[in-house]
Amino acid sequence: MLNIIKKSPYESSALSDCLKYIKSGDVILFTEDGIYAVKKEGAFGKLVSDASQTCAVYYLFPDAEARGIKSEEVISLAKPVDYKGFVDLVGDSLKSMTW
């Protein structure tokens, strides 16, 4: 399942809610303000790093860039994708859930 997190973890429980339901082999994609969860120095970086042991973690690079977040500021286990990569992730998934 593809889990798309688009809300900031500082303003929403979307990330914690998602993490309650993920299963091995799931994919998490951070977009929009959800991007703040993948910052190394952020309060949620370790939580996302731990989740990457169970599932693949991606972030939409254009959304990070729009928020002034550079790739070196993102946890190393999160892989950047562009819009084409976003579409590929959706196409490769049988189901998706937006948080």
Supply 3's token pair. Answer: 């889990």
CATH number of 2-98: 3.40.1260.10
Q: How far is CA 42 from each of CA 15, 47, 83, 87, 94, rounded to the nearest angstrom?
A: 14, 10, 24, 27, 31
Give Cβ neighbours of residue 63 (< 8 Å, ≥ 6 apart): 30, 31, 32, 35
Output phi, psi for 93, to 5 deg.
-105, 140
pLDDT grade, residue 42 (50/70/90)?
Answer: confident
Summarize the confidence of residues 18-38 as an average pLDDT. 96
> What is this structure's pTM?
0.94
Would the pLDDT of 87 be above 90? yes
pLDDT at 75: 95
Query: For residue 58, what pLDDT is reported?
Result: 98
